[in-house]
Amino acid sequence: MFTMVAKHLRLNLITSAMETKQTAVEWLIGKMAHIIPLSFNNLIEEAKEMEKEQIIDAAHHGVDFENSPYKDAEEYYNETYKS
């Protein structure tokens, strides 16, 4: 599983250097926004932070930043998933 995530990250670096993407958690929130009670906001933020850390951790292990447009995994996440 971890290897698949790392390969996916490498592909993202090659194909979309500056294109903002949506994470799976953000996609799910968008689809369920009309039925998620406001009381779940803390859980949603926790899930988004957990997903961010997973993406950054996978990038640390699977991306050669010397040959990418990003200086590190945090910058990769911010440029790819932050709007």
Q: How confident is the model at residue 10 (pLDDT cuts 50, 70, 90)?
A: low
30-49 pLDDT tens trace: 899 888 888 888 999 999 99
Mean pLDDT of all residues belonging to the chain: 80
pLDDT on residue 39: 84
Spatial CA neighbour of 80 closest among 41, 52, 57: 52
Per-residue tokens: 54 = 């997973």
Q: Is 19 left (phi over 0), alpha (psi -120 to 50) or beta?
A: beta
